[in-house]
Amino acid sequence: MARKKKEPEKSKAKINTDNIMGLVGSTTEQAISETLEINYMPYAMSVIVSRAIPEIDGFKPSHRKLLYTMYKMGLLNGGRTKSANIVGQTMRLNPHGDAAIYETMVRLARGNETLLHPFVDSKGNFGKVYSRDMAYAASRYTEAKLESFCNELFRDIDSDTVDMVDNYDATMKEPSLLPTTFPNVLVSANQGIAVGMASNICSFNLKEVCDTTIALMNNPDHDILSTLPGPDFSTGAELLFDETTTRDIYSTGRGSFKLRAKWNYVKGDNVIEITEIPYSTTSEAVMDKVAELIKAGKIKEIADMRDETDLGGLKLTIDLKRGVEPEKLMQKLFRMTPLQDSFPCNFNILIAGMPRVMGIGEILEEWTAWRTDCVKRRLFFQIQKKEDRLHLLKGLERILLDIDKAIRIIRETELENEVVPNLMIGFGIDEIQANYVAEIKLRNINKEYILKQTKAIDDLEKEIADLQDTLNSHRKLKNVIIKELQQVSEKYGKPRKTEIIYETAEIQMDDEDEQIPDYPVTVFVSKEGYLKKITPQSLRMSGEQKFKEGDSLSFSRETSNKAELLVFTSLCQCYKTRLSDFEDGKASQLGDYLPQKLGMDPGETVLQVLLPGDYKGFVLFFFENGKGAKVPLSAYETKTNRRRLTAAFSDKSPLVSAMVIDEDRQVVLYSSDNRAAIVSTAQLTPKTTRNTIGVAVMSLKKKAQLSAVRPLEESGITNASRYRNKTIPTAGAIIKEEDSQEKQISFDV
C-alpha cells in the first residue's frame, strides 16, 4: 500500500520537471550587449533617477514621499501619531516595504541626530547616528510628527509652485519636488549609491548657506569661502581646515574633508573624555580599534576605555596610566584610529533628470534658478486667483448698479434653470458671473455690501498690478527670494557645531617613541643644505666627507637618532623634523637635500640648522644690520607638531648667525671692516615674539655690516679685554694680527 501511494507523487514530480524543461528549452539566444541595453539599462536608470541620487530640493524620492504623506496627514500643526501609522500611509506613495520607509523616517528624526536640522519631531528610541549597535525601536513603539522647520518645505505647495504627478498606481497625486525656501540640498547631509555612480553630500550650516546664496545673487564673483568656511556636521567634532583642498571641493564637487574628535583631559581623574567624534565613524568602531591596538601591544598608555554615553550625549572615557602625556597619546590615536577620519565628498545631484557633479557655486546657481521658477509659478497662481475673483466682482458690480432690474428678472423667470441665462442676457455677463450673482443671499443686497464690493474691486486691481510687476521684474523676484532666505536664516539659524581648526594645514602625527630606535649619530649639514646622518661605526670606517662641487661643511654635531632638528630658511621660516626621518648614510654620499625632503617653497634655501634638545634654552639671532635677538626655544615647540612655522625670525635684515645656548655666554661679533666686539648674551633681554627685530648690539660704520659671529672660546682671540665692552651697542676694536687667526672654520652650536 505504501508503494502504491508514492507512485502518483513520483509521476506528478516528473510532469512538473518536464514542464520546466520545456520552458527552458524554449529560450532563445541573446547578445550580451542587447541584454545590457534591454534589461540592465532600464534598471540602472531607475535606480539613478528614482531612488539613490537627490534632486535640487535636497531630497530623494523616499524622503519626499514620506514627508508629503505626513504633511497630508496634518502632522505639521497637529499632534504626534504612531510611526507605524505614518509608515502605512506612506506605502500609498512608496510601495517598497515598511522597513525601508521606517528606516528613512529614523534618519530624518531629531532623536537620531543625523541632520543638523531634522524634519521629524520624534518621541521614543530612534537610535543614534554615532552608534552602530544602538538600534531604534520598532515603529509600533515610537511616535512622530513634522518639525515646525518643515513649514519652509511646504510653503505655497498648494499654489502650483511645483508639478504634481501620479503615484505608482495613479490613485493620487504627489509633488515631483518640494518648494524649499532655502538650499536644503547643502544643509541636509545626503548619501546614496546608484548603479555606476554615487552621491555623498556633506551638510553645511544653514545661516552660512543662506548668507552665501544671498551674496552670490548680489555678486556672482563673490568668494564663497569667505561666507562658507566649511561643512558643519550634526555630530560636531573638529574640521582640519586646508584652504587649497576646500577651494578644490567647492569648485569641483569632489574631494574629502579631514575631521577629528573633540576631547578634554580631566587632570584629577587622569582620564581623557571624548565627547564628539567624526560624522563618518561610530563609537563602537573607535572602541574596537583601540581594543585591537591594545591587544597588539601598539598602545601601552591606556589602562581602560569605556563607553559612558547616556541621555546627555556621547562620551568615551579613557583611563590613563601614570605619567602618560594626554596630548601625545591623542596624537597616536588620531593617527591609528577613526578618531581622525575623512569625509569624502561627491556632490552628484539630479538636474532635470540628469545626474551632474557640481561645485558649490554651480549648485547654488541651479537652486536659485529653480527657486525663481517656483516663485514665478506662485505669483502666476496668485494672479490667476485674484483675476478670477475680480471677474466675479466685475459681474456683481454690473448687477448692483441696477439691483431692482436683477430682482425683477429673477421674479419674472418661471423656471429655476432659466435664471442664469436671463441674468446673462439682461446684464451682458457670462455664465460664471451670473452663477455667482444668483447665489448671493438676499440679506447682502444692501448699500454697505455694495460699497464693500466696489472697494474690493479697486484693491484687487491694485494687487494684481503689483504681482504682475513683480513677476515681470528680475530684480523684484530676486528680492523676494533674498527676503525669504533672510527670514529662514533669522528664524532657524544655529551656531556651528563643527569647530574649524585653521592652524593644522600640516599635521604630522608623532611616531611612538618606543618604536623609534635610539642610538648615537653624527649629523653633518653642508652650506647648500645637504644633510648626512652617520653612525659612529660607519664614521670610523669612512674616509673624507664628500660634498657637491663648490659646497662645504656648515654644521656638524654628535647627537641621537631621536633628536629633533630646526631648519631656518631664507624665507624666514622654520622647518621642524626628526633625525629618525632620515636614513643612515655614509661619508661618501651627498646626503638628503633638505629643501626637497622638507617640501620647501621654490627658491627657499637653508640658512642655519639647530638642535633644540628639550627646548629649555634660547636661540640667538644676529643680523647684518648689527642687531641681535634672544628668543626662548619654547617659542618653537608646538603641541601639534607642525612641520613648518612661518615668521620664524625677523625679515628686516639678512640673518648672519643663529645659535642655541643653555646658559649665557660670551660671543665675538665680526664686522666687514675688520673690527670685532665681545659681548655677553646676558646683555640681551629675551623676547617672546619669534620675529622680533632685536636690539642693536654692534655699532657699524657706513657701508659696513656684521659678517660673522663665533663663541669666544672658538674665536682664536688672545687679548679678549681689547674687544670687550660693558654696554651695547659697541663699536668694538680693530682686529690685531695675533687675534685674526681663525681656529674654527664652521659654526658649532
Which of the residues are catalytic? 141
DSSP letters, 697-717, are -B---TT--EEEEEEGGGT--
Q: Over 180-235, what HEC string results? A: CCCCHHHHCCEEEECCCCEEEECCCCHHHHHHHHHHHHHCCCCCHHHHCCCCCCCC
Alpha-carbon dihedral angle through residues 347, 351, 353, 355, given to the nearest 10 degrees? -30
* Residue partners of 169: CB distance under 8 A and separation at least 6: none
d(CA 280, CA 277): 8
**What are the grid coordinates assigned to 271, written together?**
582620564
Contact status, residue 321 vs residue 294, Cβ threshold 8 Å: no
The C-alpha angle 40, 44, 49, rounded to 5 degrees, equals 150
d(CA 172, CA 163): 13
d(CA 137, CA 116): 22
Helix axes 419-427 and 431-438, enclosed angle (nearest 10): 120
**What are the grid coordinates assigned to 696, written together?**
642693536
List, as own/partner pairs, every contact residues 104-108 make where C-beta atoms lie below 8 angstroms and the sequence separation is at least 24, other chains included.
Answer: 104/62, 104/63, 104/66, 105/66, 105/144, 106/136, 108/63, 108/66, 108/67
Round to the nearest angstrom and report the end-to-end CA distance of the chain. Answer: 109
Q: Where are the beta strands (DSSP E) in 227-301?
A: 238-240, 254-260, 262-266, 271-276
Q: Among candidates 649, 654, 707, which has minimal Cα distance to 677?
A: 707
* Phi, psi (rounded to 5 degrees) for 578: -115, 145
Q: Among candidates 608, 606, 712, which has minimal Cα distance to 656?
A: 608
d(CA 633, CA 621): 12
d(CA 381, CA 129): 41
Contact status, residue 584 vs residue 645, Cβ threshold 8 Å: no
Q: Based on the number of CB atoms within 10 Å of its own CB, is 226 exposed (0-12), middle (13-18) or buried (19 or more)?
A: exposed
